[in-house]
Amino acid sequence: MTDEPVSLAAALASFSQVWSPRIVTTVNDYDVRVAKVEGEHLWHVHDDTDEFFLVLDGELRIALREEAGERTVRLPRGSVFTVPRGTEHKPYAPVPTEILLLEPTGTSTVGDRHEEVPDHVDATTGHALG
């Protein structure tokens, strides 16, 4: 963590990989991460934590498997959504999209239970900037 302000635009410009978040700062025991996303992620579950999404640019869709059935939420630019812990979900970006995530430090991008990880998804707990 730095003791200087972090430009989200500069942070996002510092890498090109999709589905490979960078940690821009920490708040208590949480990472604030930014990521570039496009196409499909994978079905996965975070058993013990919610997952917060903020769409900075583009559009994100999140398919959810809930007790009532499957549904998809659409998040245009400027929208936020929290996937509740224990909910199976699959993010998808129909266009190049930039997002901000808030998760407990050490949370895996592919959750605690998941499908096979495709090559374009980085199974990580977040990368440092720079």
**49-62 per-position pLDDT tens digit:** 999 999 999 999 99
Domain interval for residue 50: 8-128
Residue 84 lies in a domain: yes
Question: How high is the pLDDT of residue 105?
Answer: 96
Residue 16 lies in a domain: yes
Q: Tell me whether strands 30-40 and 88-104 are parallel, antiparallel or unpaired.
A: antiparallel
Q: What is the CATH number of the domain that holds 73?
A: 2.60.120.10
Residue 34 lies in a domain: yes
Question: How high is the pLDDT of residue 130?
Answer: 80
Residue 3 lies in a domain: no
Residue 2 lies in a domain: no
- Considering its fold, how many domains does the chain have in total? 1
- What is the distance, to the nearest Å, from the Cα of residue 13 to the centroid of all Cα atoms in its chain? 17
Residue 1 lies in a domain: no
Segments of the chain scoring below 70 in pLDDT: 1-2
Question: How high is the pLDDT of residue 1?
Answer: 61
- Categorise residue 94: left if φ over 0, alpha if ψ from -120 to 50, beta otherwise: alpha
- Cβ(36)–Cβ(22) below 8 Å: no
**75-96 per-position pLDDT tens digit:** 999 999 999 999 999 999 999 9
